[in-house]
Amino acid sequence: MNQNRQKFFWLIPLLIFIGLAVLLWTRLGVDPKIVPQATTGKPFPTFNLPSLADGRLQTVADLPKQPFVLNVWGSWCPTCAVEHPYLMKMARQGVILVGVNYKDQPSAALAYLEKHGNPFSINLQDSKGDLGLDLGLTGAPETFIVDQHQQIRLHVIGEVDDSVWQTQLKPCLDSLKVGGGAGCQ
């Protein structure tokens, strides 16, 4: 009986190890930057926020009527500063970018854009973070693809760089432009 008990006690750690190994192995293929959110596939949240440029109130009706990239950023955000040159490149290539200046001082945000350039066709001022809360943000930067019907199609956490653009954002935008959206997975 004592030998059976020893075998049993060795079996428990082995089963725990195997369970953890299987769990880790199944999660290896998942891109942590793509976040399936409750908002993905849902209408863009309603809002009534001032434009960073002139303070005029903006609503969902003011958003572009074609697929666009929405980028949440702040002048206080170091990763936003890293991705900013890439956003400028995207804007020069004709990508429609809408900005959400998140929990920032308008004067600091405007000074930042004056110094580094403004890639955004519309830039909303979300000083209190209400829209960010409705979007399910975890911080900044975060980027969304919104289709022509104001439906959120993709949510990416973290820096936009060439890899994120080529493998996630561009395929989604391209598929929306031809009417499908199959590239928004």
Q: Which CATH number characterizes residue 166's domain?
A: 3.40.30.10
Is residue 178 over pLDDT 90?
Answer: no
When divided into structural domains, the chain yields a total of 1
Query: Does the pLDDT at position 27 exceed 80?
Result: no
Residue 8 within a domain:
no
pLDDT single digits (tens) 84-138: 999 999 999 999 999 999 999 999 999 999 999 999 999 999 999 999 999 999 9
More confident residue, 30 or 44: 44
- Residue 81 covered by a domain: yes
The pLDDT, as a whole number, for residue 59 is: 97
Q: Is the peptide bond before 67 cis (omega within 30 degrees of 0)?
A: no
pLDDT the model gives residue 40: 86
Q: Is residue 106 part of a domain?
A: yes
Q: How far apart are the first and last CA of the chain?
A: 55
What is the domain extent for residue 159? 42-178
70 membership: H or E segment, kind and range: strand 68-73
Q: Rounded mean pLDDT of the chain?
A: 87
Gap between the Cα atoms of 106 and 112, Å rounded: 10
Give the model's confidence band at 38: pLDDT under 50 very low, under 70 low, under 90 confident, else very high.
low
Q: Is the pLDDT of residue 22 over 60?
A: no
**Distance (Å, whole) CA 42 – CA 163:** 26
C-beta separation of 99 from 174 below 8 A: no
pLDDT value at position 2?
64
Three-class secondary structure assignment of 82-126: HHHHHHHHHHHCCCCEEEEEECCCHHHHHHHHHHHCCCCCEEEEE
Does 168 map to a domain? yes
CA-based nearest residue to 145, from 119, 120, 172, 178: 172
Count the neighbouring beta carbons within 10 Å of the beta carbon of residue 127: 15
The pLDDT score that the predictor gives to residue 183 is 74
Q: What's the pLDDT at 180?
A: 75
What is the structure's pLDDT at 16? 62
d(CA 39, CA 155): 9
Q: What tokens does 165 get?
A: 């653009």
Position 185 in a domain: no
| DSSP bridge pairs for 97 | 69
Interval 61-84: pLDDT, tens: 999 999 999 999 999 999 999 999
pLDDT of residue 33: 47
Beta bridge partners of 175: none
- Residue 98 domain-assigned? yes
Residue 58 located in a structural domain: yes
Query: Quick check: is 78 in a domain?
Result: yes
In this structure, are residues 52 and 124 in contact, taking their beta carbons and an 8 Å threshold?
A: yes
- Per-residue pLDDT tens for 123-163? 999 999 999 999 999 999 999 999 999 999 999 999 999 99
